[in-house]
A and B are shown apart, each in its own frame.
Chain A
Amino acid sequence: MRFWPKEPFWQGVAVLVMAFLLIVFGIPYLPPLLGIPSAPIPNSVVVQYMLTALVGVLLWVSDNQTRWQQFKQPFHAVMVEERKKPIRMILLVLLPALIGFIAYGRVKPSLDAPPSFRAIHPAPPSSITFQGRTIEITGLENPLRTRGSLDDHYEEGKSIYYENCLACHGDLLDGLGHYSHGFNPTPLSFQDVGTIAQLAESFVFWRIAKGGVGLPNEGGPWNSAMPAWEEFLTEDEIWAVTIFLYEQAGKTPRTWEEHAEGGEH
């Protein structure tokens, strides 16, 4: 502990610096330990955590009278001591300048892209019209799972995927195909635990069949480039590609029983 400062003020500063480093650089290392992809901490969360740390530091320094006096000492010194005059002057200019700068950032007119919200999983309709026929979505299971050979369906689904889906959703099913950079919003990643892994196959069927143009009005805007695949593929072909998606991404579809237990999502 040779480098640990003795004065409460500098101890408080050291705690805050360490908290900041831990939050910004330390926490992102945690998810990979559990096999989850990492992501940077959003600024608003950093601010919240830092405020919590600051409150903790203030509680600690004001906990007893001597420490509180020691803690206040550097503030007092900067304000009154003759040899600290340069620091005093610099702070008297810098602090107001910083406040002014922040205020400017707030009031400056800026032309940004409108925010685009995106509900990933809109509530599915109870039935859809598929190539002129009505298909009940509620309670629907993938008929190919109880018909014929699963390997054959996988192979068929694979061909369909590579002929049609690859350019956007990619070889790795991570939504980073060689066309993905051309689209905003970007294509979905099926490796993501938030996509097909938490959906029933009937939902996936509906989304593939109707595409971006077939998304319900409520909860929009969607602005999705996903084609309506009923114009390209048959019912069985869509079911086959669904089997391929789950198998290739190593995910299991939710069943209707789970769906009923889990409620709406």
Chain B
Amino acid sequence: MGTRALVMAAYLLLPLPLAAQETDNENPAGKVVYDRWCAGCHGTDGRGEGPGALTMLPRPRDFTRALYQVRTTGSGELPTDDDIMHVINVGMPGTAMPGWEDLLSSQEREDLVTYLKSMSRFFNSSPPPAQLEFSNAPRVSDDRIAEGAEIYEQVECSKCHGRSGRADGPSAPTQKDDSDLPIYPANLTQNWRFNGGGTVEDIYRVLRTGLDGTPMPTFSDLIDAGVITDDQLWNLAHYVRSLSPEESPRIREVITAANVGDGEGGLPTSPTDERWETVDKFYIPLVGQIVVKPRWFNPRVQNLWVQALHDSADVAMLVSWSDPSRSPNEEWAPFAQQIVEAMGPKDEGSTWAPGAPDQLVVQFPLTLPTGMERPYFLQGDARRPAYLWSWRSDHDRAVEMVARGLGTGQEQPASSQQVSAEAAWADGEWRVLFRRSLATPDSTSDLQMPRATVVPVAFQAWDGNNGEAGNQAAVSTWYFLALEEPVPVTVLITPLAAFLLTAVLGLVVVTRAQRREKEIPGRN
């Protein structure tokens, strides 16, 4: 908090001067754009209470308070016009805020900036905010990342963001934003969802400015106080950047399960087996279940990573995902309660109760579809049932189910349970390894998985400590699991024949041309 904040606080006590009111009415251009495109979430009055607001957590920005997260100015300061324009242009990743650069003209966006500023008296009363001076990013190196890791502990990032960066720090369940609503620390292993941008420059900027309105503080004062240097802050930024993959993950429709053969080793039997490190990981984004009542607009599990292998008898599938806590967990119960209350007015009928577990469902069709028609993506329908592997953290085992619609899953009798699961939770991450034989004796109640086929697969995940239970889950639509086989040698016959045939043909043509050239030199 600087003197600017004090000036602002003092200003609150003063009556609104006429000048400010006039500015409000002077800008109909910006208001037209705002009312049409922004008011749906931010509200006509700019308080962040538009009709869409209740489907979002954190709620949309309240422009009347002039608290902006993404800035180039000091903590507690107003944003520059360019800062506001930047967020309008590119949006905020990981939130509902899109970029408007393509839809609105530059004039419309400039009008909008003026209008947004007119919603708060602070912009009129304060001198234009000064941009902080940012140094240039030093080149990344292992040494810098290693020092960044030390700074990460020294300045207590791990208290909220956790040792691994998966938002699993001890203070995570107690965080609130300036509207007194529960808020999650960022998951630092997913930089493509950082709301201020995911480059090392973006991270450094957020470390310098803080995210006003959230618990994320500025670290500029630690530099001013001589606790760390600007260079060390860059190292911290490089370290945070290194927690995420170099490139944002691509969505691939087909998850390939290679055949590991029946030789020594076989399939990995543990979710933490280091052989999984070398198996291709497939990224599956999840979204809230917003089709069937009660809907869920605040899913905690934003994505999964799926890896799969098979041999001649079994298939093994490792599903891993970020989850800051192992549910149920008493420390998180109040947080979950607050989430349920914050999202409750939107869709009533939550079946959550303290003690709710984490859950994962891997869903297949009950029988392999012959055409393109698959069961409904939410656990099937009456005509085309779904076959599920359902895992719960409180039972620590998976069961086979058959479902004809979301939540209608019937557990198969113990005598015909074929799937096994082993789960491990560490540093804010679940790893659940499922294993089942490709063919089972229950040919009518289990999906049979012939080798060299493509099997539809979908996923659903629940975080009990985020108020999720019943229909309120994170879901995906259909993907495909390909049980690959090594390419047989016989496949090479055709290409080899084509190669030889063309080569012989080429030789014949060349030799004939050369012979004719000798007989009649110069003849073309």
Contact = CB atoms under 8 A, between A and B. Distances in A.
Chains A and B belong together in one complex: yes
Interface of A: 69, 72-73, 76, 79-80, 88, 91-93, 95-97, 99-104, 106-109, 111-117, 158-163, 166-168, 170-172, 176-179, 181-184, 213, 220-221, 223, 225, 227, 231-232, 248
B513 interface: yes
Interface residues of B, number: 70
Q: Which of B52, B103, B507 has the most CB of A within 10 A?
A: B52
B524 A72 contact: yes
Q: Which of B41, B96, B479, B509 has the most CB of A within 10 A?
A: B96
Contact of B453 (A96, A111, A248): A111
Contacts of B485: 109
A163 B96 CA distance: 12
A107 B495 contact: yes
Given A100-B495, A162-B41, A79 B510 contact: yes
17 contacts: A73-B524, A79-B510, A80-B514, A88-B510, A92-B510, A96-B499, A103-B498, A163-B52, A163-B346, A167-B96, A179-B290, A181-B287, A182-B477, A184-B479, A221-B374, A223-B377, A225-B477
Given A80-B517, A221-B374, 14 more contacts: A91-B506, A96-B498, A104-B494, A112-B454, A114-B480, A115-B372, A162-B40, A166-B96, A167-B55, A178-B98, A179-B290, A181-B287, A182-B476, A183-B477
Interface in B125-141: none
Given A80-B513, A97-B499, A231-B293, A181 B373 contact: no
A223 B507 CA distance: 54
Contact of A117 (B292, B372, B492): B372
Contacts of A117: 372
A195 to B, nearest CB: 17
A99 B498 contact: yes
A223 B477 contact: yes
A213 B376 contact: yes
Contact of A172 (B52, B98, B376, B507): B98
B206 interface: no
Given A161-B40, A223-B478, A178 B95 contact: yes
B37 A171 contact: yes
A102 B524 CA distance: 32
Contacts of A176: 98
B286 A162 contact: no
Nearest to A160: B51
A99 B517 CA distance: 28
B96 A182 contact: no
Contacts of A103: 494-495, 497-499
A23 to B, nearest CB: 26
Contacts of A108: 487, 491
A163 B51 contact: yes
A99 B502 contact: yes
Contacts of A91: 506
A153 to B, nearest CB: 15
B15 interface: no
B500 interface: yes
A220 B506 CA distance: 50
A227 B496 CA distance: 53
Interface in B238-283: 251, 253-254, 256
Contacts of A178: 95-96, 98
A92 B480 CA distance: 42
A163 B54 CA distance: 8
Contacts of B297: 167
Contacts of A102: 498
B484 interface: yes
B253 A184 contact: yes
A72 to B, nearest CB: 6
A156 to B, nearest CB: 10
Contacts of A111: 254, 256, 452-454, 482-484
Nearest to A76: B524
A116 B372 contact: yes
Interface in B68-105: 95-96, 98, 100, 102-103
A154 B503 CA distance: 71
Q: Which of A91, A103, A115 has the most CB of B within 10 A?
A: A103
Contacts of B288: 167, 179
A184 to B, nearest CB: 5
Contacts of B476: 182
B347 to A, nearest CB: 10
A241 to B, nearest CB: 11
A170 B41 CA distance: 11
A102 B498 CA distance: 9
Interface in B319-357: 346
B374 A223 contact: yes
A176 B102 CA distance: 13
9 cross-chain pairs, A with B, having the tightest CB-CB distances, nearest first: A182-B287, A100-B499, A162-B52, A111-B482, A96-B502, A162-B40, A159-B51, A104-B495, A96-B503
Contacts of A79: 509-510, 513-514
Contacts of A101: 495
